[in-house]
Amino acid sequence: MRPRGGRVIKEDPHRINDKIRGVAQVRLIGDNVEQGIYSFQQAMHIADEQNLDLVEIAPTANPPVCRVIDYQKFLYAQKKKQKEAKANQKKQEVKEIRFGPQTDDHDYNFKLKHAQEFLKEGNKVKAYVFFRGRSIVFKEQGELLLARFAADLEEFGKADNVPNLEGKRMIMFVSPKSQKG
């Protein structure tokens, strides 16, 4: 809906006060209210006496559930909860680890240690062997290297796929084990 002036009016997610239509009875809840089933007029009267709003919380219930609250405070509390929930979510990143087909043991162990840290933090690991020039003839070494890598990381995560060759790269993803418990 766009009124004159181009401003957008947001539709309220809940029906409040007079916008609640076609309802004879409601189940009333709230802090300073005796819970129970009331006629719609009684519920509106109770809300008006307390200078609060009648907000339809569960419109599909039979009878619909309405709460007597200050609607603006209710919306503010909901936004605050959503913001906290969003802040507590952890975004999973994909960390890359690059090998050559003839990576020696010291470099391998160094990169393995980094991959273990990434998986402990809850990030995915993209391990790949990069073949330069004629080194593509050593693709079996690349497969063995990635298979060994997946086996060494089994305690921290599991391989999503078998190593596959894409152009000059042999790629494998490792996902962290869930930290529930």
For the CA atoms of 173, 177, 179, 180, the dihedral, rounded to the nearest 10 degrees, stands at 130
Kindly report the number of other CB atoms within 10 A of residue 90's CB atom. Answer: 8
Q: Which of the two residues, 106 and 22, has the higher pLDDT score? A: 106
pTM here is 0.49
Q: How confident is the model at residue 6 (pLDDT cuts 50, 70, 90)?
A: low
Same domain, 22 and 78: yes
Name 171's bridge partners: 128, 164
pLDDT of residue 38: 85
Residue 31 is part of a domain; what is its CATH number? 3.10.20.80
DSSP 143-177: HHHHHHHHHHTTTTEEESS--EEETTEEEEEEEEP
pLDDT digits 0-9 by tens, 80-124: 988 888 877 777 788 888 888 888 888 889 988 988 888 888 888
Q: Say if residue 78 is in the same domain as residue 120.
A: no
For 80, other C-beta atoms within 10 Å of its C-beta total 10
Structural domain including 171 reads 94-176
Q: Are 128 and 96 in contact (CB under 8 A)?
A: yes
The enclosing domain of 169 has a CATH number of 3.30.110.10
Residue 57 CA to residue 108 CA, distance in Å, equals: 58
Q: Give the DSSP H or E segment for 89.
A: none
User: 28-77 pLDDT, tens per residue?
Assistant: 888 778 888 888 888 888 888 888 888 888 878 888 888 888 888 888 88
Tokens of 54: 């009648």
Computed on alpha carbons and rounded to an integer, the radius of gyration of the chain in Å comes to: 30
Which tops the pLDDT comparison, 58 or 12?
Answer: 58
Q: Looking at residue 181, what is its pLDDT?
A: 39
Of the pLDDT bands very low, low, confident and very high (cuts 50, 70, 90), residue 5 is low
| Residue 2 within any structural domain of the chain | no
Task: Pick the last residue of a domain from 33, 63, 86.
Answer: 86
Higher pLDDT, 73 or 19: 73
Residue 137 vs residue 150, higher pLDDT: 150
pLDDT 10s digits, 135-146: 777 778 888 888
Whole-angstrom distance, CA of residue 125 vs CA of residue 176 = 8
Which candidate, 63, 82, 60, 80, places its Cα nearest to that of 14?
A: 60
Domain check: are 75 and 127 in the same one? Answer: no
Number of domains in the chain: 2
144 and 101 assigned to the same domain: yes
d(CA 123, CA 89): 13
| End-to-end C-alpha distance for the chain, whole angstroms | 48
pLDDT band for position 8 (cuts 50, 70, 90): low
Beta bridge partners of 30: 68
